[in-house]
Amino acid sequence: MTEQNFSSMRAAMVESQLRTSDVDDPRVVAAMAHLPRENFLPAERRAMAYIDRPVPLGGGRALNPPLVTGRLLKEAQVVPGEKVLLIGAATGYGAALLAALGARVTAVETVDGPDVAVAGVSVMRGALAAGGPDGAPYDLLFIEGAVEEVPAALVQQLVDGGRVVTGLVERGVTRLCSGSVVAGALGLASLVDMEMVVLPGFAKPERFVF
C-alpha cells in the first residue's frame, strides 16, 4: 500500500464516513483529513486503517472506527489549551487528534495495552477506571469507547462544569453520550446509537435483589 493510496483512502473516509454522518466541525474534519491514521496501526493492520469498523489490535483491544472518534471530537468541542483526560488511548490516534486541536492531553492505557507514542502527550499506564489523578483537575473527560458506567473516580478529576464525552453500554447497545459535571454530579444525554469499542474494567457492580 503506497502513501498515495492511504491519502486517497483518508480523503474517502472524510467524504463518505465523516461528512455524511454529522461530523461537521471544520477543525475536527481538517485534523482527521491531515493525520495519517495508518501510522497508528501495526504494519499488518495498516490496510484496514480507514474501514468503518473497529480494527483489532490484539489482546481483546481494538481501534474505534473513524466515525466514532470524529463524533466524540465534535461533541467534545475542544478549546485550545484545555486539559483533557483521555481514557482508552489504544495506539494514540485519538490522543494525537486532541493534541492537534490544541489540547494538553493525559492519555491513560492499561499496563498490557497497545503501544502509545504521541509527541506532546503524557501517557499513563494503569487501570482505565482510575484515570490520571496526578494531573487533575481536567476540563474534559474523553472516554474513547463504551463503558457500562462512568466511575466516580473519573468524575472527581474534572473541574466543576467540566465536560464528558463517552460511549455507554445499555442493554447490549453502545450509545454515544455527552454531558457535564455540576456540583460533583455527572449528567449525560444519549445522542445516537453507534458501534464502538467496549473498554475493559468498567462493568457495573452486581446488585443483589432480595
Cα 103 to the center of its chain, rounded Å: 14
Identify the domain containing residue 57 by its residue range: 3-193
Q: What is the mean pLDDT of residues 65-76?
A: 97
Per-residue confidence band for 56, with pLDDT thresholds at 50, 70 and 90: very high
pLDDT value for 195: 93
With respect to residue 139, please indicate whether it lies within any of the assigned structural domains.
yes
- How does pLDDT run across 169-207, given as a tens digit for each residue? 998 899 999 999 999 999 999 999 999 999 999 988 766
For residue 198, the 8-state DSSP code is B
Half-sphere exposure of 36 (CA within 13 A, CB side): 11
Beta strands in 2-148 (DSSP E): 55-58, 61-63, 83-87, 104-109, 122-125, 138-147
Q: Which amino acid is at 175?
A: R
- How does pLDDT run across 125-140, given as a tens digit for each residue? 999 999 999 999 999 9
Residues 6+ apart with CB under 8 A from 102: 78, 79, 80, 81, 82
Q: Give me the number of domains the chain comprises.
A: 1
Per-residue confidence band for 119, with pLDDT thresholds at 50, 70 and 90: confident
Grid coordinates 482510575 are at which residue?
Answer: 130
With respect to residue 205, please indicate whether it lies within any of the assigned structural domains.
no
CATH of the domain at 159: 3.40.50.150
With respect to residue 188, please indicate whether it lies within any of the assigned structural domains.
yes
With respect to residue 138, please indicate whether it lies within any of the assigned structural domains.
yes
Give the SS3 label for residue 74: helix
With respect to residue 209, please indicate whether it lies within any of the assigned structural domains.
no
Q: 22-26 — which CB contacts under 8 Å span 24+ positions?
A: 22/71, 22/74, 23/67, 23/70, 23/71, 23/73, 23/74, 24/74, 25/73, 25/74, 25/77
C-alpha cell at 148: 457500562
Average pLDDT, the chain: 94
With respect to residue 9, please indicate whether it lies within any of the assigned structural domains.
yes
With respect to residue 120, please indicate whether it lies within any of the assigned structural domains.
yes
Per-residue confidence band for 55, with pLDDT thresholds at 50, 70 and 90: very high
With respect to residue 163, please indicate whether it lies within any of the assigned structural domains.
yes
pLDDT value for 65: 96
Per-residue confidence band for 60, with pLDDT thresholds at 50, 70 and 90: confident
Beta strands in the chain (DSSP E): 55-58, 61-63, 83-87, 104-109, 122-125, 138-147, 158-170, 173-182, 185-193
